[in-house]
Structure formats: C-alpha cells, structure tokens
A and B are shown apart, each in its own frame.
Chain A
C-alpha cells in the first residue's frame, strides 16, 4: 500500500465549505472545495485528512466521498466534543484548512476479482463509503459486493438514500440492522454479527473490510473466521488521536505501528495481538 501526502504534509491547503448535510441528529457530512488556484486532490479509499478549524484546532477525519473527484472532499463527522462541534457548525463558504490525504487505505486495487464483504458499525460506514463507490463504479472488476451495516437505532443510520440505491446494484447485497428498533422500524433488529446468517458469502474468494467500534470489530473478525475467511483476507480501519499525521509525533502509536502512517487500514493479522490487549 502506498502513502500519499501533499508535497508539504504539515502545511494546510485552504478549502471552503460547499455544503453541510445532516445525516443523523448528531452527525453531519461536510463537502469542501479547494480555493481558486488549487487543483484539489484525489485520495485512496480509507485515507484521512487533517481538518483545521481556525481558532479551534485540527482533527483527523476520514474522507467519505468519491475518490476520483478532485474538486470535492467529503467528511462525515459526529459531533461529540468541542472541536467536532465547531467543525459541523461551519456554514457554507467558511474556510477550513486541509492537510493530506494521509495513511494507508483499503487494498482496493489488490482485491480486484474478489468478492468484497464490507462490515460497518455506526459512523464506521463513512471511511468505507469511498471503497463502495469505487467498487460500484468499476463493477465488472469485482465479484459480489456484500454490505453489512449495523447502527444503534434507526435514527442513527447514515446515508439512508444511498443504502437503498446500493441494494438495486447488480450482484450486490446490502443488509442493515439496528441494535434496538421501535414499532415503526420495518427492518432487521440485532447486532451486526447477526446479519452474517443472511449474507450470501463465498469465503474462499472474499476479502472483508471492517470499520466500527473496536469491540464490534473483534466480534466481527471472529464471525468472519467462523464463516471461513482467512485472517489475511480481513482488513480493519483503526482510529486514534492523530496529530502530525505523518508518523513524527507518536500520538497515535499502536504497538509497533503509527496509525497515521502505517494505517489507519491494517491487515487484521498485523494487529490481532494488539486487539486482544486490555486498554491499548
């Protein structure tokens, strides 16, 4: 996997907020466009940027838009603290500093010809969305696409319209579940691992890409192995407090790795022992 950065990785590029859309009560997608004179950037699905909210601070956020669009970067952000609240409160036209894209993304080129199983929990669907976009755009180069998505409740589901449209794509299975449902919810209720029994999997020719809370990913990796996937065919996206984003500062050290530089996407086999340690 290659690491792609701007020529000056510590220098932010000026972008403007093009649109802000509300996904759930606390989660928003920002669409940014580069200032005049910039060519913008492409990215590898699974990579992240450092977003600088002027006067507040800098945040690592996964890119959630279409990887081939140079003139637009999209970020889905859950408002959970002062900095993320400031970010989602930006209005159209506001300036944002963008560094990156950084890190190792999903092995999207290496898995051509394979079935792809995408397993996402909560906001973990955001870093996986560019991979889904890529596969759907290059549909004939991949086998079956299976998307398993779990969320806490129906109101916490991201990208509802797109989920509905992906269902209609050829050789694509999309299953959605919520941990708790109300009477108005017509879909599946149960944790994301309960979806595996409905998934049409061909484990010998499949690669899995997983993103969500780490506890969820532990359970999901176990389920994938039970269903016959080999460890080396499972990839996870990790999240830590990235600061420099290029492996200098050490804030995101994870065992022998820096998540910003060596990840955020890792082969499961490489980080399995770390995932089994308390409080790491």
Chain B
C-alpha cells in the first residue's frame, strides 16, 4: 500500500526534496477525491490548501460578467493546483473545478506555512518550487495574451 510519504516524494513537484522535509510535510497532507463537476475551490474563498494532482483533470475558470465561465487552463497528473495559500491575503483568485474525477493530495496551507516559518530551509525549498511553477505559468499566460492565432491586418 502506498504511503502518503511515498506519494508526496514521487510527485514531480517535490522531485529531489530531502526526505526529512517530506516527513515534516506528511502531517499536513491528506488524500482527497473530487467527482467530475465538483468545485475544488472558489474565487474569494480563504486559500488554506494546495493540491498535488495524482489523476484526472482540473479546469481553472475565470468569472467574467456576461460570459459563461471561461476555462483559462487545465491541470493534470503531476501538476499542482493553488498557490494563493502562500501569499497574503490568502484568498483564491479563480474557480477550480474537477473536469474529470480527480485524485489529489491536499496539503494544509496553514499547517505548512507554520512549518516553513519554523524551518526556513523547508520554506526556501517550497518557495523555489512554487517560483518555478509561477514563472512557467506567467510565461504561458503571456503567450496566451498575445492571442497568436488571430489574424491582424
């Protein structure tokens, strides 16, 4: 049977992370499952969790007045959902919905923030990983904003 510790260690987001740090995080982790169509998080709600996706697909949606929900990205196995737990005011900026039945490890953000404050080496490792994800998503968003497939005359 897979332990939480092993699942976290094998998730690509935590590749290469020291075993002691993973052992520290296990106390903040739990297995979760979302049925297709369920909202995992909603804009404006307190952001106290992030998710390591293990299976399925999550749609990140923007709420735009006079529009149906617009999906701006999808996240799948091996990716992470949510970084608003890391930065004040700790509120979600988007909706996220399980587009398919989705399995994930939920990490309690409050619990992890406390551990990161107590152990700055852990905090630095976590921040480095999130910074890389933020950089990748920022670049993808820039390309998305360029709307490259529109014909300009």
Instruction: Determine, out of A67-75, A177-185, A201-209, the stretch whose residues face the partner at the interface.
Output: A177-185
Hey, which chain A residues are within 8 Å of B147, CB to CB?
Answer: 152, 179
- A121 within 8 A of partner (CB): yes
**CB <8 Å contact, A193 and B143:** yes
**CB <8 Å contact, B140 and A212:** no
Instruction: Determine, out of A213-221, A230-238, A268-276, the stretch whose residues face the partner at the interface.
Output: A213-221
For window 132-153 of B, CB contacts with A under 8 Å fall at 139-140, 143-144, 146-151, 153
For window 171-229 of A, CB contacts with B under 8 Å fall at 179-183, 185-191, 193-194, 197-198, 212-213, 215-216, 219
**CB <8 Å contact, A191 and B144:** yes
Question: What is the interface residue range for chain B against chain A?
Answer: 20 to 34
Q: Which of B57, B71, B76 contacts A180 (CB 8 A)?
A: B71
**CB <8 Å contact, A190 and B73:** yes
Kindly name the residue among A80, A81, A194, A215 whose own CB sees the greatest number of chain B CB atoms within 10 A.
A194
For window 86-111 of B, CB contacts with A under 8 Å fall at 99-100
- Shortest C-beta distance, A121 to chain B (Å), equals 7
Task: Provide the bound-state CA to CA distance between A188 and B100, in Å.
Answer: 11
**CB <8 Å contact, B73 and A215:** no
Task: Provide the bound-state CA to CA distance between A156 and B149, in Å.
Answer: 9
- A31 within 8 A of partner (CB): no
- B78 within 8 A of partner (CB): yes
Known: A152-B149, A212-B148. A183 touches B71 (CB 8 A): yes
Task: Provide the bound-state CA to CA distance between A187 and B70, in Å.
Answer: 14
For window 45-68 of A, CB contacts with B under 8 Å fall at none
Known: A189-B59, A193-B143, A216-B143. A183 touches B149 (CB 8 A): no
Hey, which chain A residues are within 8 Å of B74, CB to CB?
Answer: 181, 187-190
Known: A193-B140, A197-B78, A219-B143. A182 touches B148 (CB 8 A): no
Count of residues in A whose CB is under 8 Å from the partner chain:
29
Q: Which of A80, A183, A194, A216 contacts B148 (CB 8 A)?
A: A216
Task: Provide the bound-state CA to CA distance between A164 and B153, in Å.
Answer: 33
Nearest CB in chain B to that of A122: its residue:
B149
**CB <8 Å contact, B149 and A121:** yes
Hey, which chain B residues are within 8 Å of A152, CB to CB?
Answer: 147, 149-150
Q: Which of A151, A183, A194 contacts B140 (CB 8 A)?
A: A194
Number of A-B contacts (CB under 8 A): 68
- A251 within 8 A of partner (CB): no
- A112 within 8 A of partner (CB): no
Task: Provide the bound-state CA to CA distance between A213 and B150, in Å.
Answer: 9
Nearest CB in chain B to that of A214: its residue:
B148
Kindly name the residue among B73, B100, B139 whose own CB sees the greatest number of chain A CB atoms within 10 A.
B73
- Shortest C-beta distance, B21 to chain A (Å), equals 23
**CB <8 Å contact, B148 and A190:** no
Task: Provide the bound-state CA to CA distance between A151 and B147, in Å.
Answer: 10
- A78 within 8 A of partner (CB): yes
**CB <8 Å contact, A151 and B149:** yes
**CB <8 Å contact, B71 and A181:** yes
Hey, which chain A residues are within 8 Å of B151, CB to CB?
Answer: 78, 80
Task: Provide the bound-state CA to CA distance between A197 and B76, in Å.
Answer: 10
Known: A151-B149, A181-B59, A197-B78. A186 touches B99 (CB 8 A): yes
**CB <8 Å contact, B70 and A191:** no
Sample (11) of A-B pairs whose CB atoms are under 8 Å apart: A152-B147, A179-B144, A182-B71, A189-B74, A190-B73, A190-B140, A193-B143, A197-B79, A198-B76, A212-B148, A213-B148
Which positions in A face B, CB cutoff 8 Å?
78, 80-81, 121-122, 151-152, 156, 179-183, 185-191, 193-194, 197-198, 212-213, 215-216, 219
**The 10 residue pairs across chains A and B that have the minimum distance between CB atoms:** A181-B71, A152-B149, A122-B149, A213-B148, A189-B74, A191-B143, A189-B71, A190-B73, A80-B151, A216-B148
Known: A180-B70, A213-B149. 9 other contacts (CB 8 A): A81-B153, A179-B147, A180-B144, A182-B70, A189-B74, A197-B79, A212-B148, A216-B143, A219-B143
